[in-house]
Structure 1
Amino acid sequence: MSSVRPRMTHLFEQLGLDASESAIAEFIESHQLDRDAFINEASYWTEAQRQFIEEKMKSDGEWAIVVDQLNESLHEDSVQQ
């Protein structure tokens, strides 16, 4: 079992996305969700990415915290309105 705590960069790597800071910021900025949209239902995920996100959300562990952080970031624009 790994003692490394998952981070946003690890999540992006697991999703097969560019995990550089600039790429993460760009992804978040360009993939904002509506207030009522669920992260796992976003149209831009592949089925494998969606399954990974759902699995980590249900795990209620450290990965769930990182997915929740991404979820909050993807809803920033809807909160500011």
Structure 2
Amino acid sequence: MESHTHSITHLFAQLGLPSETSDIEAFIEAHAPLAHELKLADAPFWTAAQAGFLKSELDEDADWSAVIDTLDARLRHGI
């Protein structure tokens, strides 16, 4: 199985969100900090499809999981 490295820009595009750097920064600023007890996929700002994608990719430790973890960290710390 071939592994792919994805960027946060690609993740936002995959989620159907604006994916310019300024859009990503604005999204993080608007939604951070995410409560530590809340799983990323359970955050209220996702659509059902977005939440399902995040959950399945993390559960399967799929190609997207590393960049999803990066987004998770940035949302928790506002960085």
TM-score normalised to the size of structure 1? Answer: 0.85
Partners of 1:4 and 1:67 lie apart in 2 by 13
Post-superposition shift, 1:38?
Answer: 1.1
Moved over 4 A (4+): 1-4
CA–CA distance in 2 between the matches of 1:2 and 1:20?
A: 27
Residues in 1 aligned to 2:21 and 2:73: alpha-carbon distance in whole angstroms: 17
AA matched with 1:10: H
Which segments of 5 or more consecutive residues in structure 2 lack a partner in the other structure?
A: none
Contact 2:3 2:63 in 1 (8 A): no
Q: In the alignment, residue 49 of structure 2 is paired with which amino acid?
A: A
Unmatched 5+ stretches in structure 1: none
The 1:7/1:43 distance shift into structure 2, 3 A limit, reads: same
Counterpart for residue 9 of structure 1: 9
TM-score (norm 2): 0.87
How many residues were matched structurally? 77
Identical positions, percent: 38
Larger helix share, 1 or 2? 1
Could you tell me how far apart the structure 2 residues matched to 1:65 and 1:5 are? Answer: 8
Separation of aligned partners in 2, 1:36 and 1:69: 17
> CA RMSD for the aligned pairs?
1.7
Mean Cα deviation higher: 55-64 or 44-53: 55-64
